Structure 1
Amino acid sequence: MNLHFNQSLAKNYHSEPQKVRVLSEAWVKENSYCTNCSAQSLAEFANNKPVADFYCENCNEQYELKSKKA
C-alpha cells in the first residue's frame, strides 16, 4: 500500500480544502479495498452525492470519505 499522495494532482488548486479533497480521493481510489467483502478496489460515486463517495461494485457497500488538512 502506498502511503504517499500524488502531489502533482493538486498543482492546479489554490484552496487548501480543495487540495486535500483531490489528493485524498485519488489516494482512496488507488489504494483502498472493500472492508466488507475484500474486493480489491472501490468505485467512485458522482461528485456531491449526499450520502457516500465510494462504493463496492461487488457487494454494494458504501463509504464516505472525510478529510481535512491537519
Structure 2
Amino acid sequence: MNLNFNQSLAKNYTSGPQIIRVLSEAWVKDNGYCPNCGTQPLADFANNKPVADFYCATCTEQYEL
C-alpha cells in the first residue's frame, strides 16, 4: 500500500478543499479496499453522488470519503 499522495494531481488547484478532495479520492481509488469483504479496488460512483463516493462491487457496501 502506497501511503503517499500523488501531488502532481493537485497542480491545477488552489483551493485547499479541492486539493485534498482530488488527492484523497485518487489515493482511495488506487489503494483502498472494502473493509467488509476485503475486495480491492473499490469502484467509484459518478461525481457528485449525494450518498457515497465509492462502493464495493462484490458486497455492495458504500463508502463516503
Structure 1 and Structure 2 fold alike (TM over 0.5):
yes
How many Å separate the matches in 2 of 1:59 and 1:34? 9
Give the Cα–Cα distance (whole angstroms) in 1 for the partners of residues 30 and 63 of structure 2.
15
Counterpart in the other structure of 1:12:
12
| Number of residue pairs matched by the alignment | 65
**Structure 1 unaligned blocks of 5 or more:** 66-70
Distance 1:63 1:38 in 2: 14
Measured on the aligned residues, the alpha-carbon RMSD in Å equals 0.6
**How far is 1:64 from its partner?**
0.3
- Match in the other structure for 1:39: 39
* Cα distance in 2 for residues equivalent to 1:59 and 1:49: 19
Flag structure 2 segments of 5+ consecutive residues without an equivalent.
none
1:1-70 to 2 correspondences below 5 Å: 1-65=1-65
Q: Which has the higher contact order (CA 8 A, sep 6+)?
A: 1
Q: Distance in 2 between matches of 1:49 and 1:18?
A: 16
- Deviating beyond 3 angstroms after TM superposition, the runs of 4 or more aligned structure 1 residues are none
Q: Alignment identity in percent? A: 77
